[in-house]
C-alpha cells in the first residue's frame, strides 16, 4: 500500500512539474501573430518558406543542389529551419514534401515550438547536471521552481530563434562531459554523443564553434589515456562533428559564397566594424559592466546575482566537476562579453550555468528553512511576472485599439521608422468587428527616418514640415531616443547610464546628433507643443483580479530584451503650435 501511495505521489509530482514546464513555455505562444514582431524570427520564418526541392522533370534529377532546400539565409545554420520544415510536413500528414507552400504563421509557430521544447529539455538536463554535482539521487523541488520560472527560459521559449536550441546543446555537451569525468560513460560513446551535439550546434549557428572546446578539454582531463590516445580521440571527435555539421547544414558548403558573405557581414556587425542602426546602444558601452547591469538582472532576476556570487565562491574549488563548470562558463562568457555587440542572446548558453551556480550556492548555505523559502520566492517572482507578457494581449494591439478608438479620422500622425511594424495595426480581436470603420480612418501616418536626421539636410526640412502639420506623435519604442540621446520621456535615474557607458557618452551624442537631441528634448519637455496623453507598457507583472500587485519595469535593460515582445509605446498630442 505504501509503494502504491509513493508511486501516486511521484506521478502527481512529475505531473505538476511537466505541467508547469509546458504552461510556462507554451502559454501565449502565438503572441504577436500575424505580425512580424521579432526581426530574427521573421527572417528565419521567411527562410523556412523558401525551403523546397521540387523536381519537375527527369533532367533535373541530376539536380541543381545549390537550390534544393536552400534557404538563401545564412545568419544561422539550416538545422532549425529544416526542423521547422519537418514539423510542418508532419503536421500536414507527411504530404507534399519538397513542394509545400508554407504560410508565415505556420513557419513562426513551428520555430517557436522548437524553442519551447528545447527549453523543456534544457530544464530536465539541468536537473541531471545538478544531481551529478551534488551527488544527490533526487532533486529538490525548489531547484525545479527556480528553473521553471526563469525569465530568460520563458522569453526564449516564445522566440522562434536559435537561443533556446543553443542553450540546450551547450547544456547537453556539459552533461556528457561530466559523465565521462565521472567515468559513467565509455570514451567511444562519449565521442559519438559529443560530436553529434557539437555538429548540431554548429549546424544551428557557426559561432557555436566555441562549444568544441568543451569535449576537447574533457578528453585532456581523462586520466587513464596517454597523450597519443587523447590526440587520436580529439581528431576523431572533430572529424565526426564535421560530418554531422555537413549533414544538417549542407548549404554552408554547397552555397559557400553566400555563406561566407553572410559570415563576413555578421562578424563585421558583431565587432562594430560595420555601423548599423540596431547596434547603436553599444556605442560607448563598457564590456562586462554592461552585461552585469543591463543583461543579467533582466534575464535572471535576483538568482542572477546569487549565481554570480556562487561562481566567485566556486572558482577556488579543486573538484574536477566544479572546475569544469567554471571553465565552461568563462569559455563562453569572456569572448562574448568583450566584443562590441552585447545582445542578451549572445550570453544565452551560459544563463543556465548561472542558475546552476545560484542553486549550488543556496544548497551550500547553512540557513534556516524559512529564510531559504523567502529567497526562493523572491527568485521566482520575476519569472512569474514575465508570463503576463504572453498571458495578455500584445501591447502593440492595445495601443492600436486605443488609437482607432480615440484619434479622429484623417488625423496627421508622425511616427518612427525601423520598429518592425508601424502603428496602428489591426488587433486580432478587432479584425472581424467594425473592420470597415477601422480601415476607413484614413490616418495620414508618416514613419519618419530619424536615424539619418543629422546627416541629411532634406530630412531636417521634411521633419519641420511634419511637425507643423502633425496632430499626434507616436514614439513606438526606445530604439532611437535611448541610443542617440540621454533624454528619457520621464525622469529616470541615470545611474545605469553612468555605470554602463563611458562618461563622455552624453556630451558626444549631443555633438554628433544635435538635431535628434534637440527634437527629443523638446518633445519630452513639452516645448515642441505636444504632451503625452497615453503610455502603453507590458512590463512583467503579477496581478490579482486585475489589480497589479508587483511590476518589474525593464525598459532600461538591454534593448532586445524588451522591444520585440513588450516595448513601451508613448502617444503625444498637440496642445499648442510649435
Residue 16: pLDDT band by 50, 70, 90 thresholds?
very high
* Inter-axis angle of helices 79-91 and 187-204, nearest 10: 90
Q: Kindly report the three-state secondary structure assignment for every residue of 420-440.
A: CCCCCCCCHHHCCCCHHHHHC
Three-state SS for 412?
A: strand
Give pLDDT, residue 184.
79
Mean pLDDT over residues 168-194, rounded?
93
The mean predicted confidence, pLDDT, of the chain is: 91
**Measured distance CA(521)–CA(55) in Å, rounded:** 60
Best CA proximity match to 123, nearest among 11, 24, 10: 24
**Measured distance CA(468)–CA(460) in Å, rounded:** 13
Best CA proximity match to 479, nearest among 423, 558, 543: 558
Q: Check pLDDT > 90 for residue 95.
A: no
343 CB burial (10 A radius; 0-12, 13-18, 19+):
buried
Backbone phi, psi, residue 103, to 5°: -80, 160
Backbone phi, psi, residue 148, to 5°: -60, -45
- Percent of residues, the chain, with pLDDT higher than 70: 95
Contacts 24+ apart (CB under 8 A), 546-552: 550/381, 550/385, 551/385, 552/301, 552/382, 552/385, 552/386
Tens-place pLDDT, residues 392-438: 999 999 999 999 999 998 899 999 998 889 999 988 876 655 555 55
- Cell matching residue 298: 533582466
Residue 465: pLDDT band by 50, 70, 90 thresholds?
very high
Give pLDDT, residue 58.
47
Q: Check pLDDT > 90 for residue 490.
A: no
- Percent of residues, the chain, with pLDDT higher than 90: 79
Give pLDDT, residue 57.
52
- Bridging pattern class, strands 547-551 and 541-544: antiparallel
- Cell matching residue 404: 482607432
Ramachandran class of 284: left when φ > 0, alpha when ψ lies in -120 to 50, beta otherwise: left
Question: What percentage of the chain's residues is helix, strand, coil (to nearest 5)?
Answer: 60, 5, 30
Three-state SS for 529?
A: coil
- Cell matching residue 84: 521547422
Using alpha carbons only, what angle is made at residue 169 by residues 167 and 170, rounded to the nearest 5 degrees?
A: 65
Which residues make Cβ contacts (< 8 Å) with residue 415, sequence separation at least 6? Answer: 422, 423, 445, 446, 447, 448, 473, 474, 476
Q: Check pLDDT > 60 for residue 301.
A: yes
Return the minimum-mean-pLDDT range out of 7-16, 78-87, 404-413, 550-559.
7-16
Q: Check pLDDT > 90 for residue 440.
A: no
- Cell matching residue 127: 536537473
CA 16 from centroid of its chain's CA atoms: 26
Residue 545: pLDDT band by 50, 70, 90 thresholds?
confident
In this structure, the number of other CB atoms found within 10 A of the CB of residue 218 comes to 25
Q: Which residue has the higher pLDDT, 104 or 65?
A: 104
Q: Which residue has the higher pLDDT, 490 or 537?
A: 537
Tens-place pLDDT, residues 17-67: 999 999 999 999 999 999 999 999 999 999 999 999 876 554 445 456 778
Amino acid at each position: 500500500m505504501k509503494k502504491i501511495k509513493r508511486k501516486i505521489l511521484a506521478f502527481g509530482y512529475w505531473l505538476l512539474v511537466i505541467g508547469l514546464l509546458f504552461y510556462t513555455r507554451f502559454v501565449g505562444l502565438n503572441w504577436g501573430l500575424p505580425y512580424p514582431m521579432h526581426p530574427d524570427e521573421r527572417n528565419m520564418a521567411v527562410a523556412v518558406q523558401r525551403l523546397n526541392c521540387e523536381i519537375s522533370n527527369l533532367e533535373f534529377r541530376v539536380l541543381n543542389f545549390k537550390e534544393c532546400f536552400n534557404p538563401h539565409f545564412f545568419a544561422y545554420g539550416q538545422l532549425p529551419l529544416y526542423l521547422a520544415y519537418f514539423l510542418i510536413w508532419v503536421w500536414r500528414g507527411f504530404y507534399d514534401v519538397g513542394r509545400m507552400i508554407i504560410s508565415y504563421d505556420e513557419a513562426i509557430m513551428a520555430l517557436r515550438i522548437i524553442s519551447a521544447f528545447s527549453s523543456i529539455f534544457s530544464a530536465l538536463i539541468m536537473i541531471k547536471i545538478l544531481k551529478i554535482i551534488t551527488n544527490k539521487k533526487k532533486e529538490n523541488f525548489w531547484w525545479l521552481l527556480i528553473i521553471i520560472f526563469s525569465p530568460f527560459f520563458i522569453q526564449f521559449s516564445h522566440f522562434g530563434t536559435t537561443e533556446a536550441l543553443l542553450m540546450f546543446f551547450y547544456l547537453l555537451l556539459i552533461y556528457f562531459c561530466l559523465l565521462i569525468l565521472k567515468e559513467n560513460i565509455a570514451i567511444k560513446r562519449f565521442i559519438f554523443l559529443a560530436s553529434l551535439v557539437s555538429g548540431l550546434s554548429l549546424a544551428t549557428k557557426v559561432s557555436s564553434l566555441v562549444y568544441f572546446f568543451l569535449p576537447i578539454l574533457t578528453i585532456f582531463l581523462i586520466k587513464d589515456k596517454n597523450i597519443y590516445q587523447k590526440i587520436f580521440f580529439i581528431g576523431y571527435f572533430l572529424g565526426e562533428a564535421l560530418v554531422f555539421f555537413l549533414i544538417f547544414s549542407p548549404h554552408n558548403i554547397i552555397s559557400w559564397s553566400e555563406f561566407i558573405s553572410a559570415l563576413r557581414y555578421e562578424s563585421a556587425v558583431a565587432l562594430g566594424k560595420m555601423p548599423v542602426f540596431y547596434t547603436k546602444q553599444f556605442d560607448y558601452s563598457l564590456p562586462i559592466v554592461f552585461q552585469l547591469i543591463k543583461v543579467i538582472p533582466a534575464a535572471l532576476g535576483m538568482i542572477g546575482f546569487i549565481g554570480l556570487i556562487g561562481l566567485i565562491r566556486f572558482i577556488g574549488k579543486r573538484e574536477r566537476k566544479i572546475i569544469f563548470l567554471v571553465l565552461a562558463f568563462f569559455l563562453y562568457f569572456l569572448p562574448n562579453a568583450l566584443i562590441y555587440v552585447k545582445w542578451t542572446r549572445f550570453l544565452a548558453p551560459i544563463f543556465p550555468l548561472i542558475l546552476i551556480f545560484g542553486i549550488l550556492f543556496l544548497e551550500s548555505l547553512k540557513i534556516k528553512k524559512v529564510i531559504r523559502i523567502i529567497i526562493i520566492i523572491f527568485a521566482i517572482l520575476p519569472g512569474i511576472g514575465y508570463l503576463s507578457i504572453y498571458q495578455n494581449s500584445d501591447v502593440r494591439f492595445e495601443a492600436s485599439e486605443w488609437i482607432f478608438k480615440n484619434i479622429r479620422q484623417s488625423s496627421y500622425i508622425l511616427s518612427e521608422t525601423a520598429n518592425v511594424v508601424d502603428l496602428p495595426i489591426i488587433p486580432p480581436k478587432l479584425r472581424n468587428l467594425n473592420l470597415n470603420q477601422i480601415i476607413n480612418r484614413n490616418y495620414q501616418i508618416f514613419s519618419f527616418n530619424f536615424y539619418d536626421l543629422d546627416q541629411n539636410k532634406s530630412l531636417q526640412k521634411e521633419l519641420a514640415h511634419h511637425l507643423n502639420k502633425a496632430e499626434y506623435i507616436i514614439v513606438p519604442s526606445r530604439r532611437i531616443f535611448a541610443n542617440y540621446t540621454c533624454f528619457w520621456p520621464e525622469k529616470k535615474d541615470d545611474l545605469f547610464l553612468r555605470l554602463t557607458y563611458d562618461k563622455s557618452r552624453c556630451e558626444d551624442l549631443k555633438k554628433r546628433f544635435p538635431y535628434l537631441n534637440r527634437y527629443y528634448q523638446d518633445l519630452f519637455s513639452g516645448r515642441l507643443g505636444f504632451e503625452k496623453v497615453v503610455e502603453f507598457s507590458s512590463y512583467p507583472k503579477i496581478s490579482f483580479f486585475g489589480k497589479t500587485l508587483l511590476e518589474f519595469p525593464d525598459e532600461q535593460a538591454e534593448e532586445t530584451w524588451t522591444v520585440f515582445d513588450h516595448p513601451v509605446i508613448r502617444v503625444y498630442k498637440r496642445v499648442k503650435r510649435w
